[in-house]
Amino acid sequence: MEKALAEKMIDLAIEQLNFSYTPYSHFKVGAALLTKDGKLYGGCNIENAAYGPTNCAERTAFFKAVSEGERRFDAICIVGGKEGVLTEYAAPCGVCRQVMMEFCDPETFQIILATSREQYEIFTLRELLPLGLLFFYWCTVLLGPAVLVRYLYPVMVTVPFFLCRLRIRRSSSLNNPSDSVTM
Could you give the residue numbers annotated as active site?
58
Cα–Cα separations (whole angstroms), residue 148 to 50, 119, 137, 138, 154:
35, 45, 10, 11, 9
Q: Compute the C-alpha angle 113/5/60, nearest 5°.
A: 55
Please tell me whether residue 22 binds ligand THU under the rule CB under 6 A.
yes
Q: Binding residue for ligand THU (CB under 6 A) from 35, 54, 98, 140?
A: 54
- Closest residue by Cα to residue 42 from 83, 79, 88: 79
Q: Are 132 and 101 in contact (CB under 8 A)?
A: yes
Please tell me whether residue 125 binds ligand THU under the rule CB under 6 A.
no
Q: Compute the C-alpha angle 12/15/18, nearest 5°.
A: 150
Q: Binding residue for ligand THU (CB under 6 A) from 47, 62, 76, 112?
A: 47
Please tell me whether residue 96 binds ligand THU under the rule CB under 6 A.
yes
Please tell me whether residue 25 binds ligand THU under the rule CB under 6 A.
yes
Please tell me whether residue 45 binds ligand THU under the rule CB under 6 A.
yes
Using CB under 6 A, which of the segments 4-12, 32-40, 55-63, 168-176 binds ligand THU? 55-63
Half-sphere exposure of 141 (CA within 13 A, CB side): 5
Please tell me whether residue 29 binds ligand THU under the rule CB under 6 A.
yes
Interface residues with ligand THU (CB under 6 A) are 22, 25, 27, 29, 45, 47, 54, 56-58, 92-93, 96
